Chain A
């Protein structure tokens, strides 16, 4: 049996023309590279066990950039994940909120994306290094990490602050900005603490998308350390003042089109607002933040700034209260 399949695969390989020297993709001209978000992300269902959506929604923002979302009936956090292709390396940001491949096929889905990209661009998957990094040190952003443990040519960021900094070669976190070269496609990375200590902002110079993790996203930004978060906001504002940004993207969506809060843990968000935020929305949030002097929950029009409230309460009310 192994011999037969070896022969079969040799034959099928023979039918595929050997790719000529792959065309080097230009990630530095005609910026920003255009792309699009889906009209609607998968967003759960009224009955989880009747959910028919795929475990992971795969959306090609453009030919070299993928956004993925975990199905809410697989995990209520329904985090988003990113895949950035360069000529020599691939950066994957975040690995979802389910550990085992038998429960949730992240590895298989990513390998499939990589195979498709390689087939389109005349590459061999094994020739590209995959970097597994994540926005911050919370388990809804790295749970499937170990599905890749036996994957060749793959590097892990690590699950401690020290390893994360070491991975990006930083010695002056959070101010230091490093450039990650994926092979002609640069990703800029700097520290963005506040939600947690160990968090990073990522800017893709090709799409000019700024990724702000759980530190700033369309939902409840749980701010654990106000001063650090406010400093991180100042860094973001200084960045958008001096660099073009097409979209700001976070890890979750927790708000409806009408600005209604979806309570923590819900598995169905039928009228979800878009993932991406504008620079204007970031600036507005910063203006609101400037006025905040004490713990509490503040709505900026696009995000909830939950200043030191995570361990105590959220926004929702008991609907059955009466006097």
Chain B
């Protein structure tokens, strides 16, 4: 009897993280999808010349976060995880997480490669290379990447989602004096000049051409007065730093915050987004619950990536907090406006299950 109908409850493999709906791949999809062209073949034994990627693809390029992030340990002093967890999303896109027991902010930084340049978005919370060897990790990934592409070197630019944010600007010092490297300046006026946004801020966008892969920097003040988001049309990631991430979002200026979210919403109408990628994870995987600040053990963390629809919730929530001293709990984030970063609230969103995760020890 022919069995044409695929049934994931019979054939699904829980070890696969490629897709929840089709854990072993979608049998109805084409075998030879357009995304294939974005990976160059390793078959030729002696390939000739430099490899160039075509970053103009239909839909987001293929890529996968197939692993759990490091999340600290009960006894921070005894943590032996890597100081930086580096995950290859695809050959040209890397996600780096700082060890929670080196710094509780445990920020994510993103390394993107194009045909002619590389871009590091954000630089982590720790300056000391002995504790947090970001430069060494970036150098090593870059070396490997240039070998894959048969290039001698690739220039690097380091840009920040906020120059003032000490949870993201500390690693910058490690790149001082690095050859072929440009560091985006951190003082607000110089930063605006650097991106040629002095006249248009907070409107407009700056183009960063990595060679076929053109990243756009979009002014998004609100959490920080110098906030920037970065859009990558290749992965269709929108890197949002502290503006929107699954955690306790401290609003620096509520009017700017709401305006930036609305600007992003408009931007996303013309620029499709697969995931919003923030700079941190503080939420737990139960809705509406965050880890406290300074926590060095976060075993029940929410995923890093956020669906683009989450922006609608953020906009609606931001409208509610404007002008108020308020901590507003949402399933995937908490907005803190004009209150202490340690502000608590007993108000929990209607209709959202109120689950308390067990104590982690």
Contact = CB atoms under 8 A, between A and B. Distances in A.
Contacts of B250: 318, 320
Given A267-B294, A320-B165, A320-B250, A47 B75 contact: no
Contact of B79 (A49, A311, A316, A322): A49
Given A48-B79, A50-B131, A322-B225, A311 B340 contact: no
Given A312-B343, A313-B340, A321-B252, A103 B75 contact: yes
A301 B350 CA distance: 43
Contacts of A48: 76-77, 79, 101-102, 296
Contacts of A55: 77
Contact of A318 (B79, B296, B340): B340
A315 interface: yes
B58 interface: no
Nearest to A320: B252
18 contacts: A46-B131, A48-B76, A49-B80, A50-B131, A51-B77, A71-B77, A74-B75, A74-B76, A74-B77, A76-B296, A98-B74, A98-B75, A263-B342, A265-B294, A267-B76, A311-B344, A313-B344, A320-B225
A73 B224 CA distance: 30
A243 interface: no
B77 A316 contact: no
Considering residues A48, A76, A315, which has the most beta carbons from chain B within 10 angstroms of its beta carbon?
A48
Given A71-B77, A103-B74, 11 more contacts: A48-B77, A48-B102, A49-B80, A49-B83, A50-B131, A103-B361, A266-B294, A312-B343, A314-B342, A316-B341, A318-B339
Contacts of B345: 312
B253 A321 contact: yes
A47 B342 contact: no
**Pairs of residues from A and B, 3 with the lowest C-beta to C-beta distance, nearest first:** A48-B76, A265-B294, A73-B77
Interface in A177-194: none
A13 interface: no
A290 interface: no
B341 A47 contact: no
B149 interface: no
B156 to A, nearest CB: 25
Q: Which of B225, B293, B340 is the most central at the interface, judged by chain A CB atoms within 10 Å of its CB? A: B340
Nearest to B294: A265
A317 interface: yes
B338 interface: yes
Contacts of A312: 343-345
Interface string B328-354: 000000001011111111100000000
Nearest to A312: B344
Contacts of A103: 74-75, 78, 361
Nearest to B131: A47
B104 interface: yes
Contacts of B75: 73-74, 98, 103-104
Contacts of A147: none
B99 interface: yes
A115 interface: no
A86 B76 CA distance: 36
Contacts of B253: 321-323
Given A313-B342, A323-B253, A263 B77 contact: no
A107 to B, nearest CB: 16
A74 B296 CA distance: 10
B152 to A, nearest CB: 35
Most buried by B among A47, A53, A103, A264: A47
A103 B76 CA distance: 10
Max chain A C-beta neighbours (<10 A), residue from B76, B225, B295, B341: B76
Interface of B: 74-81, 83, 99, 101-104, 126, 128, 130-132, 164-165, 223-225, 250-253, 292-296, 336, 338-346, 361
Interface of A: 46-51, 53, 55, 71, 73-74, 76, 98-100, 103-104, 263-267, 311-318, 320-323
Contacts of A76: 294, 296
Given A71-B77, A265-B295, A313-B343, A47 B224 contact: no
A47 B294 contact: no
A103 to B, nearest CB: 5
Contacts of A323: 253
Contacts of A47: 101-103, 126, 128, 131-132
A321 B252 CA distance: 4
A13 B251 CA distance: 68
A192 B277 CA distance: 50
Contacts of B103: 47
Contacts of A266: 294
A47 B342 CA distance: 22
B92 to A, nearest CB: 31
A161 to B, nearest CB: 21
A264 B292 contact: yes
Contacts of B130: 50
Nearest to B164: A320
A51 B296 CA distance: 13
Nearest to B81: A49
A63 B361 CA distance: 35
B252 A322 contact: yes
Contacts of B346: 311
B257 to A, nearest CB: 11
Contacts of B77: 48-49, 51, 53, 55, 71, 73-74
B252 A49 contact: no
